[in-house]
Amino acid sequence: MHCNKTLLALTCALCWAGPALAQTIENEAALKTAVSQQVSSLMQQQQIPGMAVAVLWQGKTFFYSFGQADVAAKTAVTPDTLFELGSISKTFAGVIGAMALERGDIKLTDPVAKHWPALTGKQWQAINMQHLATYTAGGLPLFMPENVTDKASLLSYLQQWQPQYAPGTQRVYANSSIGLFAHLAVAAGGNSYGEVFQKLTATLKMPNTYLQVPKAAQAQYAWGYNEGKPVHIGTGVLLDEAGGAKASVRDLATWLNANLRPEQVTDPLLRAGIAKSQQRYAKSKDMYQGLGWEMLDYPVTVAALTAMTAPEFVAGTAATVLAPPAPAVANSWVHKTGATGGFGAYAAFVPSRQVGIVLLSNKRYPNALRVELAHKVLENLK
């Protein structure tokens, strides 16, 4: 969740009931009607310029586009419009880290300093790679200070940083935590994060997924809107890993399909990494932390989903690190929220039911409304 701190505090400040779904969704026409009603109501209530939606159901993917990608130019959203994914980027980082685990480049029990020996501070002696991956290192910051602009200043900051909690006892959601995990994981294999990310998206045939949008794709790149002003995310240390990805809803549906059906992924290392990312590495209240992905036992209520994506939960919750990790559970609601200054995103799927949903918008809006819309649609699919 890469976002302004003030906005973070307001994430669940608004309530939205949305139109009720009259009946079970039994066919494609009923699905189109249900999604259109829900999204149109949400966009009007939240003043969202544009949205792209994908629903995975019965082995097919259905795409729906609404509103404008560029208000000034009156450019319509399409399934190939690029949106900023915010923290959904962490699901890529999680799978990439899982691939490094599968290769044996890293172990969850490795001290972080093993993969960055320059981290000589005493506070790092008890922090391992699993702590970074599960946000339980002791309270790393959600955002890096502005003076952290490169690896040298990152090292300087981490050397003087002091944990608030004993490692493995408190989950404090932080871009810096999983970002550092993924960065060190790929470095252990002699690679850069960008290289591995590009190879992954090429393997899955996701041509409209980027860390930095090239000039050739700028026309597809939606503007995000913050208080009516068009914005795009900048760059930053560990941002590629934690919140910097951009993708079309078509590509993100491909990503969701791969995670929903890893057995269909032909590359053996990627297949193993996807499966490993959905194992359970820590628990906080009703939520299990995967690598990037987060899971709750299914069936699940809207109230439970809302509680696990609320600002107070994100800010810090008691945690138990699961060592060894618990196996993946097919009967899970697997999901991830994401946001930048001008975009809001959500992706969720239920392996046991083989259903999933992607919601991409070019305005940030509360997590509670995203999970409610997704839950309403997925729970009514026959």
Do residues 203 and 118 lie in contact, with contact meaning Cβ atoms separated by under 8 Å?
no
CB 329 within 8 A of CB 346: no
Calpha distance 180→101 (Å, rounded): 15
Burial of 34 (0-12, 13-18, 19+ CB in 10 A): buried
284 is known as an active-site residue: no
Q: Give the Cα separation of 233 and 144 in Å (integer).
A: 15
The catalytic residue among 87, 176, 248, 332 is 87
Which residues have a Cβ under 8 Å from the Cβ of 51 and sit 6 or more positions away?
A: 39, 42, 43, 65, 66, 67, 77, 359, 360, 361, 362
299 cis-preceded (ω within 30 degrees of 0): yes
Contacts of 189 (CB under 8 A, 6+ apart): 100, 103, 105
Q: Please give the positions annotated as active site.
A: 87
